[in-house]
Amino acid sequence: MTAGSALRQGQALLEGGGVAEARLTAEVLLCHALRRERVYLYSHPEHELSTVEWLHYGRYLHERLKGKPTQYITRRQEFFGREFVVSAEVLIPRPETEHVVERAAAVAREARRVLDIGTGSGALAVTLALEQGRELVVATDISAGALRVARENARRLGALVRLVRTDLAAGLGGAFDLIVSNPPYIPESEIAHLQHEVRDWEPRVALAGGADGAEPYRRIVPEAERLLRPGGWLIFEIGFQIEAAVRAAFGPRWRDIETGCDLAGLPRVISGRYAP
């Protein structure tokens, strides 16, 4: 079996199973089985698959057909130009979350002490640690499995991040210049209606944001008031349906509250400056 025909067969199988972007997915899974970059497939369509490569490819296709997201099969996802390790214990970092990094660069470029609440794979904490000269980056998560993945990413990418297992920011002290968070924000009633790849595979603790999706935000704002220095910034990723609820959560001690939209034009980021 050559790589070219394996690709065609994989694509047909995935299309038959209703998998979106079947061609691209087959390419990614075949590359993963061959341990090669995608360019190799185009330059070597005549590559003969070994028995082990064929078995791996078949298993990956089968897993994808059962609904497992491609990133959990390859254990990789790119975020802000870097490759992050992912496992089923963390949310797959989304491109929309890069807007949080961009907002941080826009309003808090000089922030030296940074806290990421609910770090998951560490995508935000590691990126923020590497993008600017920081003095301290602390990242929390309630999930021990997520912290293991974040630790692996920090180590692989050479970022200095202090990882703490706690409920939001409980037990932390110190004056931060910037707090970022992409907390779980799916309203309880909507979980059942999520795309099945998300609902059945991504960790529920990374998705469920209480009755209206804004509960974690209402808990994080008082924590930010405790942990930010006056003038420090809080930047949230939000779901577009909860923009009003999150803005309301900021309260009277906050200034310069601003919403930013993602590439689809939907509210995706809210930032505010703590001005007690």
Ligand X SMILES: C[S@@+](CC[C@H](N)C(=O)[O-])C[C@H]1O[C@@H](n2cnc3c(N)ncnc32)[C@H](O)[C@@H]1O
The binding site for ligand X (CB under 6 A) comprises 90-91, 93, 97, 118-121, 123-124, 140-143, 146, 167-168, 182-184, 205-206
CB of 69 to ligand X, least distance (A): 13
Residue 110 in tokens: 């000089």
When the beta carbons of 37 and 83 are compared against ligand X, the nearer one is 83
Under 8 Å between Cβ of 273 and 256: yes
SS3 265: coil
- Using left for φ > 0, alpha for ψ between -120 and 50, and beta otherwise, residue 265 falls in left
When the beta carbons of 146 and 228 are compared against ligand X, the nearer one is 146
Residue 60 in tokens: 């990956």
CB of 215 to ligand X, least distance (A): 10
CA dihedral 38, 39, 40, 42 (to 10 degrees): 100
When the beta carbons of 122 and 272 are compared against ligand X, the nearer one is 122
CB of 168 to ligand X, least distance (A): 4
CB of 95 to ligand X, least distance (A): 11
Residue 247: beta bridge partners?
A: none
When the beta carbons of 123 and 178 are compared against ligand X, the nearer one is 123
Which H, E and C letters describe 241-264, residue by residue? HHHHHHHHHHCCCEEEEEEEECCC
When the beta carbons of 9 and 259 are compared against ligand X, the nearer one is 259
CB of 5 to ligand X, least distance (A): 37
* DSSP designation for 91: P
